[in-house]
Amino acid sequence: MDKPSVLSRLRTYGWSGLRANKRRFQWFGIPVGAKDIGGDAYRLLALEIERFCRKEGIPTISSSPFPKAAEGFLPDGWKSNNWATLVVNLQQPEDALWRNLKKPAKKAIKSARERGVSVRRIDSLQDLRKYYDFACECATRYGKKMYGFIDMETMWRHFRSNAIYETFVAEKDNELLDGLGIWGFGGMISEHGAFQSERGFKEKLYGGDLIKWEVLQWGSRKGYRMYDLAGVSPNPQTGKERGIRQFKEKWGGEYQLYLQVSWRNNM
């Protein structure tokens, strides 16, 4: 089958290039193909993405998802590793979402509410800037790298009108405890940039759990299709990896394998 006909049969519903500048390109969501589309089609898609990056002078494709069907078919110069995620179906009633939660998640949500924790969605750039300062403080404590505020500001200005970009925070006594970014496209949402304050951690206030539940309800009410919990190790080797997977398994999602791919222009 020739290249145009193969590419024309690929459906891109559910994925979109979300970040692109002169340094890196990154997309959200796994490209979805028709049932009879095999690895050769994804190879051609990868080559098309590569050509786009070369044309635009973008030297790097940051770690991004690709279907397992592409394994062994990626062009030379592409790197990949097996990864996994849990995906929650949002097209079900809220009482069904609640029933599907595991007991530890329900317990944490109830505890957070009983202790006066509340969740809200950031609704202004000024408030987003304050949240960014909070996130930087948390990142310093974690030893985690932060991009400049321009990264958040750009996504706020452009993704909120053309795709999905929101930030949810948990608070108590007017103090920020936790935060979580949500982005998406085509009816599918995922998360990025989770942060927790020292107080939230030490007092076990479960703000992050309450945020997760609020996002599930919000996504369902907005009519979105799926909530991708943003990845877990398929073979957790460390206590941290095991903890992340255990936390994300609480939310009733379906386990899915995929490839995490990247590319660098060495020419």
- Domain residue ranges in the chain: 3-84+259-264, 91-224
What local confidence, expressed as pLDDT, does residue 1 receive? 40
* Residue carrying structure tokens 């200005």: 157
Both tokens assigned to 128: 């987003």
Class of domain 91-224: alpha beta
The Cα-based distances of 257 to 81, 148, 232 in angstroms read: 11, 32, 9
pLDDT < 70: residue spans in the chain: 1-22, 34, 267
Opening angle at CA 197, ends 128 and 140, nearest 5 = 80
CA dihedral 213, 214, 218, 220 (to 10 degrees): 20
Q: Taken in order 147, 153, 154, 158, is the CA torsion positive or negative?
A: positive
Contact criterion met (CB below 8 Å) for 109 and 245: no
In this structure, what DSSP letter does residue 37 have?
-
What local confidence, expressed as pLDDT, does residue 140 receive? 95
**Structure pTM?**
0.86
What local confidence, expressed as pLDDT, does residue 7 receive? 45
What local confidence, expressed as pLDDT, does residue 233 receive? 93
What local confidence, expressed as pLDDT, does residue 214 receive? 98
Task: Report d(CA 89, CA 225) in Å as an integer.
Answer: 6
